[in-house]
Amino acid sequence: MNSSDSQLQLDVSPEKIPRHVAIIMDGNGRWAQRQELPRIRGHQQGAKTVRLITEECARLGIKQLTLYCLSSENWKRPEDELEFLMFLLSQYMIQERETMMENNIRLQIIGRRERIPADVQTEMDQSLEMTSGNTGTCLCLAINYGGRAEIVDAVRQITSEVIAGKLDASEITETTVSDHLYTAGMSDPDLLIRTAGEMRISNYLLWQISYAEMWVTDKMWPEFSIADFHQAIGDFSKRNRRFGGLNSEDPTC
């Protein structure tokens, strides 16, 4: 955190701060290319932004931060870049344990474990175990994650329970589906942030963001700052969230 960011204060009342923020961290490679640097340098700088925003969430008392780290579609990238991403993920798990413990952050990971190297999974499991007793912000990393795959996996589990006679098909509700998603037990995101100016969801938390407020910035993820994060929260705090109902102050809506 630089000195200017460390002095920033969020001018939003606590009850207006989102409980759960989800972020699509886009633009690492483009940021590096603009700097005439290798793409991997963008991922390295992006990891620093992860620490910055995670620590700020802990300071603000935000209950959960969910980050889109690696999508199920990202395996189409060049092999050397994927190898570096796996190395970076392993190093993150090792290097950030102290930060997570100091900030009372509990780690969770969602997504399919297939294709994640065994040594990386070992480091993931160690961090999960080490932080399991923490009671502050939940940092949820979406790794090898796809929203459609998540729903398919939930349908498979529900179908198996129906076939086994553990569940009656007529009793399946939205809660049933939610309870079988990777995010079972978590609250839905209140605020979805996307960097790099892209106006799409990219197969991210398709079920969970039904009523999330979206906020998009042209900033690339490596240059995303606490000031930008505060702006997103400030804009969120001014929005009228009706969840499909009417605004009591404006019955014509």
Supply the residues annotated as catalytic: 26, 74
Surface-to-core class of residue 161, CB atoms within 10 Å of its CB (0-12 exposed, 13-18 middle, 19+ buried):
middle
Lay out the sheet containing 138-145: strands in order across: 106-110, 138-145, 64-71, 20-24, 191-194, 213-216
| DSSP assignments along the chain, one per residue | --HHHHT----S-GGGS-SEEEEE---HHHHHHHTT--HHHHHHHHHHHHHHHHHHHHHHT-SEEEEEEEETTGGGS-HHHHHHHHHHHHHHHHHTHHHHHHTTPEEEEES--TTS-HHHHHHHHHHHHHHTT--S-EEEEEEEE-HHHHHHHHHHHHHHHHHTTSS-GGG--HHHHHTTSTTTTSPPPSEEEE-TT--S--S-STTTTTTPEEEE-SS-GGG--HHHHHHHHHHHHTS---TTS-BTTBTT-
